[in-house]
Amino acid sequence: MAETTTSTDMSKGKNKSTAASSPAAGPGGSAEPLLDIQGLTLRLPASAAARPILDGIGLHVGRGETVGLVGESGSGKSVACRSVLGLLPRTAETEGAVRVNGTDVLGLDKQGLRDMRRNKVAMVFQDPRASVNPMRRVGAFLTEGLRVRGLSKADALARAEQLLEEVGIRDPKGALRKFPHQFSGGMLQRVVIAAALTGDPELLLADEPTTALDVTTQAEVVGILQRLQARHGTGMLFVTHDLELAAAICDRIYVMYAGRIVESQPAADLFARPRHPYTAGLLASTPRLDPDAEPPKPIPGRPVSLAEAPTGCAFADRCAFAEDRCRAEAPPLVTQGAVSVACLRADEGILP
């Protein structure tokens, strides 16, 4: 599954290489966000899941902006991220819209999806080993995407070298001849990032790109992503379970729980003043290194599984502030200025 975007789909389109210039890029004024998801609902057949995997989520990413999408396992954050590339479970039923530059991804045919993946949106996955074909040299992996765009072999090699240099690989010429297993995880993730950049994407989707890496490597890979983003003005949707990491690199953060967005704020504010009890709980349960930090405080219970379909607020059972009405009615996401929060009691000052 993981290798589909970058390698497989590109190689499939080899014979149609030159027809790749954006077919439906609307004129789209600059006020329009680069990525705009509205009311996205995704349901699996009732036998597979009792509740929607995504339940009316909305989010947007502007050009050059880094937006975090944070949640625990089963929150739907990865599915939301994949939906932008049209990578959805086959049996899923969708509602809503996922617009990239004004084009609704959900309405695209195969060719349209391919063009979009090739030219506008790139994705970096969690496990770099799963994203590359272990039997092919890195050079082949990088140039196939470029060759599809009509570059000559020599040009493609030169460009691949340049890309590897951009992601901080020291001997790019030598690296092109190596096989994936000759790289460490961190180095291979750089190669994957370089591959993602081959199409000069406007939007980069990063699905836990550093989770499988060591902490010291994580910092370097994030640094590379940030630098490239600043240079090319790429918008980035950064999916992670690590609230601290998101806070350190993102402009804005969306917090997801059980398929819904429960809160969104500018990163610094979210960290300093969480408005949703779940966000607050998540922050309190994260162990801190700082010497006078409180010990982590767990959130009781466990995340809502796909087999459960709570009627009211999905977090109510784990929430210290929940009242009867929280279990009866699902809280809508209310936006005030830069803050959106889906909690019936958000305005009651329950959180400091």
Smaller CB distance to another protein: residue 95 or 214? 214
Restricting to residues 277-306, name those near another protein by CB under 8 A: 281-282, 285-291, 295-300, 302-303, 305
DSSP state for residue 297 in the 8-state scheme: -
Smaller CB distance to another protein: residue 24 or 230? 230
Alpha helix (H) residue ranges in the chain: 9-12, 77-83, 110-119, 128-131, 138-148, 153-166, 172-176, 185-197, 215-232, 243-249, 267-272, 277-285, 324-328
List CB contacts of 215: < 8 A, sequence separation 6 or more: none
Place of tokens 């439906």: 24
Of 214, 308, 347, 348, which lies in the binding site for another protein, with binding defined by CB under 8 A? 214
State the number of CA atoms in the 13 A half-sphere of 98 facing the CB: 24
Smaller CB distance to another protein: residue 33 or 274? 274
Q: Does 45 bind another protein (CB under 8 A)?
A: no
Q: Does 182 bind another protein (CB under 8 A)?
A: no
Q: Find out whether 50 and 308 touch, Cβ atoms under 8 Å.
A: yes
State the number of CA atoms in the 13 A half-sphere of 225 facing the CB: 31
Number of residues that bind another protein (CB under 8 A): 41
Window 141-160: contact mask with another protein (x via CB under 8 A): --------------------
Q: Does 219 bind another protein (CB under 8 A)?
A: yes
List CB contacts of 274: < 8 A, sequence separation 6 or more: 263, 265, 280, 283, 351
Binding segment (CB under 8 A) for another protein, from list 55-63, 96-104, 125-133, 240-248 = 240-248
User: Nearest-CA neighbor of 131 among 178, 189, 214, 181?
Assistant: 189
Of 102, 271, 327, 330, which lies in the binding site for another protein, with binding defined by CB under 8 A? 271
Restricting to residues 55-84, name those near another protein by CB under 8 A: 72-73
Rounded distance between C-alpha atoms, residue 106 and residue 310, angstroms: 28
Binding segment (CB under 8 A) for another protein, from list 174-182, 246-254, 331-339, 344-352 = 246-254
The residues of the shown chain that bind another protein, judged by CB under 8 A, are 72-73, 185, 214-220, 222-223, 226, 241-245, 247-249, 271, 281-282, 285-291, 295-300, 302-303, 305, 318
